[in-house]
């Protein structure tokens, strides 16, 4: 979403040169607000259960679209705690460990994805955000090209190199 108004004084934002780049800044001369449009940190989990990865479909997504468990990092929360919280909230699973895979820019959504492998067990209970899950055997999992797909690619490659 594009910011339109100053968070300090409520005046309209306008394009201006700031440190050699065009940025939105407050239109009031004595207000120093600049909208930097920094990427938003998002945690993503490759949830592995009994030799399969759990992919989920958000209620707002098309029927055929599934992805990793993911969500926004909360204020004051570490990425590890955030990814475990997302798994708990979305799948109802209490998990203890999250193994960092890597960070991935998701330019299309202005996000920085922090991806983790989360081994899990237990009974899945979907929250209100999710419409369905599917269990994909690890050997049949194929990465996709954008978003969390590169994390899946790297996780699969790391698994192959240790086997």
pLDDT, tens digit, for every residue of 50-84? 999 999 999 999 999 999 999 999 999 999 999 99
String of DSSP letters for 14-48 = EEEEETTEEEEEESSTT---EE--PPEEEEEEEEE
% of the chain residues with pLDDT over 90: 94
Q: Which DSSP symbol is given to 145?
A: S
Q: What is the pLDDT of residue 160?
A: 87
Measured CA distances, 101 to 42, 52, 98, 113, 132 (Å) = 14, 17, 9, 10, 25
Q: What is the pLDDT of residue 130?
A: 96
Domains of the chain: 1-37 (no CATH), 40-162 (3.90.79.10)
Q: What is the pLDDT of residue 1?
A: 60
137 is written with which tokens?
A: 């055997």
Is 80 exceeded by the pLDDT of residue 150?
yes
Q: What is the pLDDT of residue 83?
A: 98
Measured CA distances, 117 to 14, 51, 79 (Å) = 42, 13, 12
Is 90 exceeded by the pLDDT of residue 161?
no
The whole-chain average pLDDT of the chain stands at 95
Mean pLDDT of 119-129: 95
Is 90 exceeded by the pLDDT of residue 163?
no
pLDDT tens, 134-149?
999 999 999 999 999 9
Q: Which DSSP symbol is given to 5?
A: B
């Amino acid at each position: 979403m594009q910011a339109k108004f100053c968070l300090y004084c409520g005046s309209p934002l306008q394009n201006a040169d700031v440190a050699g780049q065009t940025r939105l800044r407050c239109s009031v001369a004595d207000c120093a607000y600049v909208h930097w449009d920094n990427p938003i940190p998002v945690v993503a989990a490759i949830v592995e259960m009994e030799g399969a990865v759990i992919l989920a479909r958000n209620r707002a997504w098309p029927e055929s679209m599934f992805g990793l468990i993911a969500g926004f990092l909360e204020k004051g929360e570490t990425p590890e705690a955030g990814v475990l919280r997302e798994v708990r909230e979305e799948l109802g699973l209490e998990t203890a460990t999250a193994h960092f895979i890597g960070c991935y820019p998701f330019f299309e959504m202005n996000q920085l994805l922090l991806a983790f492998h989360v081994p899990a067990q237990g009974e899945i209970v979907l929250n209100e955000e999710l419409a369905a899950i599917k269990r994909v055997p690890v050997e049949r999992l194929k990465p996709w090209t954008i978003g969390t797909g590169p994390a899946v690619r790297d996780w699969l490659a790391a698994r192959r190199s240790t086997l």
